[in-house]
């Protein structure tokens, strides 16, 4: 048994079903026992270092995995603490943090809606310029809020953007890190959406330009139906695999808008916008 079963309880919540699972955790749909309100609960459960007991408890699978388990648990709590700082319509909200079953849980607002990735797969036509402007306005403000708090998301990709009645909400801050040049950044990335500086063993400085790349690549995906080539491929082929957006769509989108997305997808970090503010000014220039 990897996941908690249906009807298992966690303090004031009752587990309904699994929403998703990965190498480091499981996300459940749950309901508050009193109000009946839905929520999403993330459980720290690293598969490589954990086993599940019959009563739902989580145990470290082997003494040699103890350090790995505890390090990941610390990172899990950091994610909860980072997210709990924000109250923004385009950032998922933390409702509660729970310690139980030998592990930890983050209770999040439940966002009913598909991810940007699911939307891109199902869409029969491209979004309009107006739709893209509205979509980006909220996310850019969310990113500025995150960066102002000296944090980076570091895993912006279509699967980590949920659409709540058309409003984009940024989720999954498991890769978020404090902007501290004195500390190494761990390697957690999504190929196609991660810039070159995130790949090991480069050790290049990450900053707002790192998240700008991820958001640019996500918009690229919605326009072209595929993400850009991964950054390593772009590097070793002298960027011959990248097809600029400017020039692909005629007058369907503002030329300056497309050029700004290409700017956000520059291979070298120093060639990209260094702040969300600078990028926003370019993206929306000429907006009617």
**Average pLDDT score over residue span 252-271:** 96
**pLDDT of residue 217 exceeding 60:** yes
On the 0-12 / 13-18 / 19+ scale of CB atoms within 10 A, 198 is buried
Report if residue 1 sits inside a domain.
Answer: no
Tens of pLDDT, residues 101-110: 999 999 999 9
**pLDDT of residue 78 exceeding 90:** no
Q: Alpha-carbon distance 97 to 42, whole Å? A: 10
pLDDT of residue 181: 43
E strand residue ranges, the chain: 9-10, 13-21, 25-32, 38-44, 50-52, 58-60, 94-100, 103-109, 151-152, 161-164, 167-170, 177-178
Report if residue 288 sits inside a domain.
Answer: no
Q: Quick one: which H or E segment has residue 73? A: helix 66-84
Report if residue 47 sits inside a domain.
Answer: yes
Report if residue 2 sits inside a domain.
Answer: no
Q: 0.85 exceeded by the pTM?
A: yes
pLDDT of residue 182: 40
DSSP-based three-state secondary structure for 264: helix
* 28 in the same domain as 78: yes
* 263 in the same domain as 198: yes
The alpha-carbon radius of gyration of the chain (Å, integer) is 20
Q: Quick one: which H or E segment has residue 230? A: none
* 276 in the same domain as 171: yes
| 8-state DSSP, 91 | B
**pLDDT of residue 201 exceeding 90:** no
187 is in which domain, residue-wise? Answer: 116-283
| Count of structural domains within the chain | 2
**Average pLDDT score over residue span 99-123:** 94
**Average pLDDT score over residue span 271-282:** 98
Q: What percent of the chain has pLDDT over 90?
A: 77
* 131 in the same domain as 97: no
Last residue of a domain, one of 83, 109, 135: 109
Q: What percent of the chain has pLDDT over 70?
A: 94
pLDDT of residue 250: 83
Last residue of a domain, one of 54, 88, 109: 109
Mean pLDDT of the chain: 91
Last residue of a domain, one of 109, 136, 157: 109
Could you tell me the pLDDT band of residue 180, with boundaries at 50, 70 and 90?
A: very low
DSSP-based three-state secondary structure for 53: coil
Neighbour count for residue 243 (Cβ, 10 Å): 12
* 222 in the same domain as 183: yes
- CATH value at residue 47: 3.30.200.20
* 152 in the same domain as 104: no
* 153 in the same domain as 101: no
**pLDDT of residue 184 exceeding 50:** no
* 252 in the same domain as 126: yes
pLDDT of residue 107: 96
Max Cα distance, the chain (Å): 62
pLDDT of residue 187: 57
């Amino acid at each position: 048994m990897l996941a908690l079963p249906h009807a298992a309880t966690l303090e004031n919540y009752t587990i309904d079903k699994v929403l998703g699972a990965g190498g480091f955790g499981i996300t459940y749909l749950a309901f508050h026992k009193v109000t009946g309100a839905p929520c999403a609960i993330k459980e720290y459960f690293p598969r490589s270092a954990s086993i599940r007991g019959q009563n739902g408890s989580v145990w470290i699978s082997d003494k040699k995995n103890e350090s790995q388990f505890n390090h990941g648990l610390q990172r899990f709590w950091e994610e909860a603490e980072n997210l709990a700082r924000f109250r923004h319509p385009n950032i998922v909200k933390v409702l509660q943090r729970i310690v139980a079953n030998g592990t930890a849980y983050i209770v999040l607002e439940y966002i009913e809606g598909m991810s940007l990735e699911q939307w891109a797969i199902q869409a029969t036509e491209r979004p309009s310029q107006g739709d893209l402007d509205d979509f980006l306005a909220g996310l850019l403000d969310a990113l500025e809020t995150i960066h102002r708090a000296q944090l980076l998301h570091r895993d912006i990709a279509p699967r980590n953007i949920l659409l709540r009645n058309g409003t984009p909400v940024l989720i999954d801050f498991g890769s978020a890190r404090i902007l501290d040049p004195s500390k190494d950044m761990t390697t957690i990335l999504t190929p196609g959406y991660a810039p070159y500086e995130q790949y090991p063993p480069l050790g290049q400085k990450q900053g707002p330009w790192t998240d700008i790349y991820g958001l640019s690549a996500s918009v690229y995906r919605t326009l072209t139906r595929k993400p850009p080539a991964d950054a390593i491929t772009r590097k070793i082929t002298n960027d011959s695999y990248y097809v600029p957006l400017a020039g692909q769509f005629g007058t369907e989108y503002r030329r300056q808008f497309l050029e700004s997305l290409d700017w956000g997808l520059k291979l070298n970090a120093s060639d990209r916008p260094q702040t969300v503010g600078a990028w926003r000014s370019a993206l929306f220039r000429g907006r009617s």
